[in-house]
Amino acid sequence: MVGGKPNFILKDVNATVNEGEFLSIMGPSGSGKSTLLNVIGMLDEFNEGEYRFFHEEVHRMKEKQRSNLYKQYIGFVFQAYHLIDELTVYENIETPLIYQDVKSSERKAMVADILDRFNIVGKKDLFPTQLSGGQQQLVGIARALIARPKLILADEPTGNLNSKQGEEIMNLFKQLNEEGVTIIQVTHSEKNAGYGKRIIHLLDGRIEKEE
């Protein structure tokens, strides 16, 4: 609240994302793209409006229900990777499964699968600080995917990477999308936004245009 008037971070945002879509959100700094992503990811709360996720009314849910829903369907990828430094690659990827009470033998198989798929089996016992930025983001994506989410939310996933590493990550997203994972990414880069099937431009918390 500034000067007694409500100060909206997001206003009149009305959008539907279908299953299997690859959506890019663009906009200048401070336009509310990350906030929108966090609201979709149920990390941030909103005061007004409605949010339906698989026909469930998220805005009426209690914390606990939301958390269960979120654990089951959503994976997050961060610009700064946010791997846990004290855990190895293997353990970082395994952690979400632990919080979902997946059995140990099952966890092993799932992590082995994904390591294999991302070609990082050889790095499984390394710690995050021993990896390059691109490799760390790869691990970050593997971690987001491990619980087989329906939706991946990526906040500037290539922001800390050089262009070659960035391209690899974007290709990976494209491939995942083709396999049926819904992806919503926030990005500054026209080029990366181009990987998406649809682009939303935000300005001052409103949808400026859609392409």
Minimum Å gap between C-beta 128 and other proteins is: 11
Among 66, 123, 143, 201, binds other proteins (CB under 8 A): 143
Should residue 67 be labelled a site residue for other proteins when binding is judged by CB under 8 A? yes
Minimum Å gap between C-beta 129 and other proteins is: 10
Minimum Å gap between C-beta 164 and other proteins is: 24
Determine the Cα–Cα distance for residues 112 and 103; give it in Å rounded to an integer.
14
Should residue 76 be labelled a site residue for other proteins when binding is judged by CB under 8 A? yes
Nearer to other proteins, 48 or 86 (CB): 86
Among 9, 43, 112, 203, binds other proteins (CB under 8 A): 43
Determine the Cα–Cα distance for residues 202 and 13; give it in Å rounded to an integer.
9
Q: Cite the DSSP H helix spans in the chain.
A: 33-40, 63-73, 89-99, 104-117, 133-145, 163-178, 190-193
Nearer to other proteins, 94 or 207 (CB): 94
3-class state of residue 112 by DSSP:
helix
Should residue 197 be labelled a site residue for other proteins when binding is judged by CB under 8 A? no
Should residue 191 be labelled a site residue for other proteins when binding is judged by CB under 8 A? no
**SS3 readout for 174-196:** HHHHHCCCEEEEECCCHHHHCCC
Q: State both tokens at 43.
A: 């990390």
Among 83, 152, 181, 183, binds other proteins (CB under 8 A): 83
Should residue 86 be labelled a site residue for other proteins when binding is judged by CB under 8 A? yes
Nearest CA-CA partner of 73 in 102, 42, 104, 101: 42
3-class state of residue 210 by DSSP:
strand
* Residue the block writes with tokens 């083709």: 178
Should residue 100 be labelled a site residue for other proteins when binding is judged by CB under 8 A? yes
Among 4, 7, 47, 99, binds other proteins (CB under 8 A): 99
Beta-strand pair 74-77/151-155: parallel
Among 9, 20, 44, 51, binds other proteins (CB under 8 A): 44
Residues engaged in binding other proteins (CB under 8 A): 34, 38, 43-44, 67, 70-71, 76, 78, 80, 82-87, 91, 94-96, 98-100, 143, 147
